[in-house]
Amino acid sequence: MATANLIENRTFDEIAVGDTASLTRTLTADDIQLFAAVSGDVNPAHLDPVYAETDMFHRVIAHGMWGAGLISAILGTELPGPGAIYLGQSLRFTRPVGVGDTITACVTVAQKRAEHHVIVLDCACVNQKGETVISGQAEVKAPTEKVSRPRMPLPDVRIASHDRFRQLMERAKDGSACVTAVVHPCSADAMRAVAEAADAGIVVPILIGPAARMTNAAKDAGVDIAAFRVIGVPHSHAAAAEAVARVRAGEAALLMKGSLHTDELMGAVVSSDMGLRTERRISHAYVMDVPGYPRPLIITDAAINIEPTLEDKADIARNAIDLAHVIGIEQPRVAILAAVETVNPRMRTTLDAAALCKMADRGQIEGALLDGPLALDNAISEAAVRDKSIVSPVAGRADILLVPNLEAGNMLAKQLTFLGGADAAGVVLGGRVPIILTSRADSVRTRLASCALAVLLARAATKASPGVAGQRRDG
């Protein structure tokens, strides 16, 4: 007899007509996502709630073979179990299975054939109401040798649907495309990023750089730039200066990095005479879509400010709070990170955190809840907060992680991306216009999400007047 820790089969000689086995599972939304990922079946009846509302069942339903998979699981693990060879299966699907339905699959031995040790089993899947959703028959070659093995644990699988970035794109598309000065797009990767955003209908590019190099980059990328405005300049330094000038003149509402170095672009942006600085410190923020984390996570600053002062951190916080408001977080929770959650006079980061919290108490930083210092686990894990008995409206539920310095922020963002499967959309804040920084390592989804963020910020800040901040695209 099999135990919870063992998986044991039944041989042909041990099986009798009338023997039965069953298992019960409750369908979750993750089950549907996982089945779609494994099978490649992205029928909107299973994955698109809006479409499913218009379909005959008026709700998202499981793939039919999800229920059939329960029958297969019984045959492979219970009756007959390990060593069985599936020969055939008939199925009839009589009712849909939706999220929350509890399905009991049952197989019953109907026939035994001594030749080739074949057994035939009646199969049925029944929902929590006692209604049959699947019926049929299976034909299996039963094992003749006993097998008893340790039961292998199910894999720990996390779903990364990146729906948050899809929602950003939908919001960005619901409005005017923003005229965008693209600085030195002289590589195939940079040109593809521009074309993707233009094709998505969220930006209208002005390409600024050496004309011949941009033309060659477009050919390498397979991109037609005939419809784009092109401004030729001799080199990348001139492209950065020209793009900033076009923004200052009101010809563009966004700035987008092409294939020049970030420092060169930002040098033109922060120029004391003709740059795009405001009274705010310029900072960078990633909006992270992290599998398993229940909300968008903003990390700042991971790209611009190397060792920010207390005053810098106050502006970095203000910029991130404004971003959070734009993406729909009404009162973001800001966790000011350190290595510990207590103030230590020998650790400047903890003193800065305490001062920032007091500034928020006095109304110097508005629109959010701030708390710190908090270690990373205490910022994002409610279990860690309970274990350490931390009382805080922010701890365990942070929307914004304000990091101590650029190195910490950069490593945290890249760790989440490359080890945690997160997507990171980045934007530079605090200037006259949002600035889009993309990387060659970014996926199409991430590049488009970065553009969408910048578009939403531009609209929120300027109310996008036609022809300057935005332009309606047709077709």
pLDDT digits (tens, 9 = 90+) for 85-100: 999 999 999 999 999 9
Task: For 367-423, give the DSSP string.
Answer: SSEEEEEE-HHHHH-HHHHHHTT---SSTT--SEEE-SSHHHHHHHHHHHHHTT--E
Q: How confident is the model at residue 167 (pLDDT cuts 50, 70, 90)?
A: confident
If asked whether residues 209 and 105 sit together in one domain, one would say: no
CATH code of the domain containing 131: 3.10.129.10
Tell me the torsion sign for CA atoms 2, 4, 37, 93.
Answer: positive
pLDDT digits (tens, 9 = 90+) for 33-63: 999 999 999 999 998 888 999 988 999 999 9
Q: Is residue 1 part of a domain?
A: no
Q: Which domain holds residue 34?
A: 8-150
Q: Which residues pair with 145 in a beta bridge?
A: none
- Residues 4-22 have a mean pLDDT of 94
Q: Is residue 257 part of a domain?
A: yes
Its pTM surpasses 0.85 = no
Q: Is residue 158 part of a domain?
A: no
If asked whether residues 186 and 320 sit together in one domain, one would say: yes
- Between 427 and 158, residue with greater pLDDT: 427
If asked whether residues 321 and 443 sit together in one domain, one would say: yes
If asked whether residues 242 and 380 sit together in one domain, one would say: yes
> Per the structure, how many domains does the chain have?
2
Cα 52 to Cα 103: distance, rounded to the nearest angstrom? 21
Q: Is residue 473 part of a domain?
A: no
If asked whether residues 85 and 187 sit together in one domain, one would say: no
If asked whether residues 137 and 215 sit together in one domain, one would say: no
If asked whether residues 251 and 139 sit together in one domain, one would say: no
